[in-house]
A and B are shown apart, each in its own frame.
Chain A
Amino acid sequence: MPDQASTVTRRRTPHRRTAAGPRTRVVYIGPLRATVGKGEETTALPTGATVTDLLAHLIETYGAPFRDRVMDREGQLLPNIHLFLDGEELGEQGLDTPLPQRGEMSLLMMLHPMEGG
């Protein structure tokens, strides 16, 4: 199985490390709250960082339990993960979106429907 963190890492945007990079309030909605042990946090990333960089940063921070809940083995976002940047939902193409200087990123994990009885 390919290393998902490194797949995300390979897609990372080259960027300059400056202190004035984007600060993002990350909000966890759904069971991801329990996975990371908090409802929200603020991250600081280097200038030019994108949504992919933010995800890679979170995968590095929270390891396999987080990674396995958001990515498949090819490093693609799972279909039950929804990303909102400043309230706007991002599709798969939105992963390359640069993070704004001050922004809010919501990671929403939808539960699997349990239908049977």
Chain B
Amino acid sequence: MAKTVPVPERPAAIEDVWVPSVCDGCRSFCGIKAHRVNGVVVKLEGDAGNPANLGRMCAKGQAALMSAYDPSRPAVPLKRTNPQKGIGVDPKWVEISWDKALDTVAQRLRKIREEDSRKLLIHSFDRSVAKFVRTWANAFGTPNHHWGGYYCGNALHPSTYLTVATHQQEIDLDYCNYCVLIGNQMGFMAGVNPNSLSIKMAEARMRGMKVVVVDPVGTNASMKASEWVPIRPGTDAAFALALVNQLINELNLYDAPFLRARTNAAFLVGPDGYYGRDKASGKPLVWDPQAGAARPYDAGVAQPALEGEFVVDGVPCHTAFQLLKEHVRAYTPERAAQITTVPAETIRRIAQEYGTAACIGANITIEGMELPYRPAAAVFFRGAVAHKHGTHHGLAIQLLNMVVGNMFVVGGYRALNIVGPGWTGAGAREDYSGVSYFAAVKIPWGPGASADGYIMPIPPLGERQPYPPEEVHAPDDLGLLALYPVATNISPQVQLSILDPHKFTIPYETEMLIHCRANHMTTKATPELSAEALRRIPFQVSLGPELDETAEFADIFLPDRHALERLDPFPQSTNSNMAAATGFWYWTLRQPVKEALGQTRHWIEVLFELAERAGFLGDLNQVLNVALHLSPEHRLDLKQRYSLEQVGDRLAQTQFGPGHSLAWFKKEGYLKFKRRAIEAYPGPYIQGRHPVYFEHLKRLGEKVKAVADELEIPWDVSDYQPLPEWKPCPDYEASSPDYDLLAVNYKSPFHSLSVTAQNPWLNELSQHHAYVYKVMVNRDTAHRKGLKDGDLVEVESAGGKTRARVKVTECIHPEVVGLAGGFGNWARGRPVAQGQGPHFNSLIPLDTKRMDYVSTAVDACIRVKLTKVTP
């Protein structure tokens, strides 16, 4: 007879609640509900009503529970006692009081601000509070507030800003029938709103959408795609231009009305590569076949010539489209096949399928509106553009979208939130159910048009001057932003400038670094150079929820709260998430769902206090008033210090009216309202043209060159070209027979940047996963080299080396080895992550020869050799 074991009775739950909040596992900021029992969070679930994720959560989000209760989290401020700094060097921390720590930091800040505020550098990738970090840097007076990693490949955003005036992109999976993913895994737990888009992707595949993944690695997306096209790394532009060539020169599958009306394809270009311009207005000319004369592009010419040569004032001019046609003729399928290794017949077939699927000329009626229907699109991400000529790859792929006229129309390509609920364009609604934001802040949320007719970024992107700028001036920031006028990330240059400020005519040396939630040491190329850059900075204060590799260089460490302990007002940004695929506009609040650990404080609250201690609180509040567009009754008093919660409340009431205070958001979690068709498909109604010919880039390049020459900084502007080209990466050809493989990096769906490596659940998942901590080697290559599954190899490049066990697979291009994510951590404060998996960035040298002078992209394909080693 079985013995009955007495089970101790559980104490009755005094508290058993579900609290709405927002996940911080990646930039998607999904809505969550935290189940808290007697003060302990026992479960996280997706918030079913939140459009960001439709009730779903990914593994990273679920596992956040473990990082919140991670016993290695620092709970008190720390001071370094070891003056030596270096990779693996123990800082020999000792505890210090908050008061003492803040006093030390504030004294330094005060001194630097009096001498030269630019000597302060801030380095954070905490996207939830990016607006507050930038505001603080602004008030302090330093332009040096960005030294992030190279996560998106850097060339992604300039390519989208230049063509569609926003930051991120998506495909209309509700209607798309032919989707080409180039170097990315959108819809497969990657990209914007991955939970929502993955659902949409699955539904689209079920209804028959074809998915073509072009990638050297057989990724998660490739495995589920209709077709995986393995491509040689760094050749995506050649592939895209070959498709464009097929579409516009061979198959006649292009959208002529769209190109005439919505792009600059009909603009006349002279033999010098610049537009022919109207003498009176200076505007670019188009050819009016009816009148047999050139007219300004905005003079109402009904059917400007799209092709041909015309003589204007005795000067022979071609239309931009004619030049594009001639330009892409060089990209025959056969030539592209040689460059990319994608067979010529595959290129021909994909062009035919894509062009046919685009249904050029078709319309569809949605919500009573007749809208263009182009259910074929291509998107790209880091894999395609993290290259020496990254901007060219991005722009070439964008041509693929533009020629079929799929911009912001049903089934096609759309960039994130080009119009918003306050948009005043045709068909925009005026009433937003009492939501007063757009009325209050008077932001016309829609794209503008430059004098030359180009689409211009939307105001919510910030106080940015016209993009790209017309003029280039001598820079004084570490990132030399003025010399990279279209870049949105200047991090690699910041590092080069710290190492050698005189070379770049920087008139000061960096004296202090404030670092939080951006692991510079692991997310940038060449850790030794990163370490040297950190050593050059006399004083470093790190804030964060863990003692990562970068914090190990800090002089003072201040413990930040975990996301589940933080209050972050409206963490999402409209240019990085809130995809139209969610079907809604929504604003969410992250609120604490558990008690904060020890003495941890929200780092933005710490910055606010430092502003007061260092004597610039008034400036901070003034800048916050402007940056947050606070309405007069909610403006901050310049003499008072506010908590983040108080600022958030004023922001909430400014944006959404008195009925939507922060207290309302704490209870409800989020505010949402449905998008209308016009807001999901604004293509035919938006102002501003998408350029297929980048005349402004050519012009800008000359201005950049003039300034660089004046400063005597060697600068290569050869990539500032009006038409994208394929140019080989520095490592396209092997310089030595030993270095016969190209290493590339790819994303695992259950890791985010380098952050999640310390999570025990995700670490366990990775240890048992076939690929994630391994180096992927093609079966034939492995056979040739005598390698088998599980062999330990050293992967060595000209930049460095890392080790991993081999995974023999057919899911990788034969010339390539693949390493996932950002692993190989070494920090003492990250015991779970320590020594797990390879560190890809150790292979990549930071060197201007491997950088894109347009976007600052650092080339992430590199020649390596594999050597079998014994453990």
Task: Show the binding face of A for B, using Cβ within 8 Å.
Answer: 1, 28-35, 37, 39, 64-65, 68-69, 72-73, 78-80, 82, 84, 87, 89, 106, 108-117
Contact = CB atoms under 8 A, between A and B. Distances in A.
B138 interface: yes
B141 interface: yes
B152 interface: yes
15 contacts: A28-B141, A32-B141, A34-B142, A37-B116, A78-B465, A108-B622, A111-B145, A112-B465, A113-B462, A114-B146, A114-B490, A115-B488, A116-B152, A117-B148, A117-B152
B406 interface: no
Contacts of B118: 31, 34
Contacts of B143: 31, 34, 111
B149 A117 contact: yes
A114 B151 CA distance: 14
B134 interface: yes
Interface string B98-131: 0000000000000001101110000001000010
A116 B134 contact: no
B575 A65 contact: no
B502 interface: no
A64 B473 CA distance: 9
Nearest to B147: A114
Nearest to B619: A29
A31 B119 CA distance: 11
B75 interface: no
Contact of B488 (A80, A82, A87, A114): A114
Contacts of B575: 115
Q: Which of A31, A34, A80, A111 has the most CB of B within 10 A?
A: A111
Contact of A29 (B130, B145, B464, B623): B623
Nearest to A82: B626
B255 to A, nearest CB: 30
B614 to A, nearest CB: 12
A110 B623 contact: yes
Contacts of A116: 148, 152, 154, 156-158, 167, 487-489
B139 interface: yes
B463 A79 contact: yes
Nearest to A110: B463
Contact of B462 (A78, A89, A110): A110
A116 B638 CA distance: 31
A33 B119 CA distance: 12
A112 B477 CA distance: 12
A30 B470 CA distance: 22
B481 interface: yes
Q: Which of B118, B139, B471, B622 has the most CB of A within 10 A?
A: B622
Contacts of B626: 82, 89, 108, 110
A33 B465 contact: no
Given A30-B623, A34-B141, A34-B476, A113 B464 contact: yes
Nearest to B627: A110
Contacts of B627: 110
- What 3 pairs across the A-B complex have the smallest Cβ distances? A116-B488, A116-B489, A113-B462
A80 B156 contact: no
B802 to A, nearest CB: 22
A65 B145 CA distance: 20
Given A106-B622, A115-B575, A115-B576, A79 B473 contact: no
Contact of B116 (A34, A69, A73, A115): A34
Contacts of A113: 130, 134, 461-464
B461 A115 contact: yes
B474 interface: yes
A110 B546 CA distance: 31
A50 to B, nearest CB: 22
Interface of B: 113-114, 116-118, 125, 130, 134, 137-139, 141-143, 145-146, 148-152, 154, 156-158, 167, 461-465, 470-471, 473-474, 476, 479, 481, 487-490, 573, 575-576, 619, 622-623, 626-627, 638
Given A29-B619, A31-B142, A112 B471 contact: no
B622 A115 contact: no
Nearest to A68: B473
Contacts of A69: 473
A111 B465 contact: no
Contacts of B146: 114
A30 B623 CA distance: 8
Contacts of A78: 465
A68 B151 CA distance: 32
B465 A79 contact: yes
Contacts of B473: 64-65, 68-69
A28 B117 CA distance: 12
A32 B139 CA distance: 10
Contact of B463 (A29, A80, A114, A115): A80
A110 B489 contact: no
Contacts of A35: 476
A72 to B, nearest CB: 7
Nearest to A78: B465
A78 B473 CA distance: 14
A60 B825 CA distance: 54
Contacts of A89: 626
Contacts of B487: 116
B121 to A, nearest CB: 12
Nearest to B460: A113
A73 B470 contact: yes
B621 to A, nearest CB: 11
A30 B116 contact: no
A34 B475 CA distance: 12
Contacts of A39: 113-114, 141
A105 B488 CA distance: 32
Given A30-B623, A34-B476, A68-B471, A115 B157 contact: yes
A80 B463 CA distance: 5
A72 B463 contact: no
B117 A34 contact: yes
A77 to B, nearest CB: 11
Nearest to A80: B463
A34 B225 CA distance: 53
Contact of A30 (B138, B156, B476): B138
Nearest to A69: B473
Nearest to B118: A34
A9 B490 CA distance: 36
B637 to A, nearest CB: 11
Contact of B622 (A29, A31, A114, A117): A29
Contacts of B471: 1, 68, 72-73
Given A29-B139, A31-B117, A80 B134 contact: no
A82 B624 CA distance: 13
A108 B113 CA distance: 16
A117 B138 CA distance: 20
A104 B585 CA distance: 41
A117 B619 CA distance: 28
A33 B490 contact: no
Nearest to A64: B473
Contacts of A33: 113, 117, 141
Given A30-B141, A115-B167, A108 B465 contact: no
A110 to B, nearest CB: 4
Given A84-B622, A112-B465, A113-B462, 16 more contacts: A34-B117, A34-B141, A65-B474, A72-B471, A73-B470, A79-B464, A87-B638, A106-B622, A108-B626, A110-B623, A112-B464, A114-B148, A116-B148, A116-B154, A116-B488, A116-B489
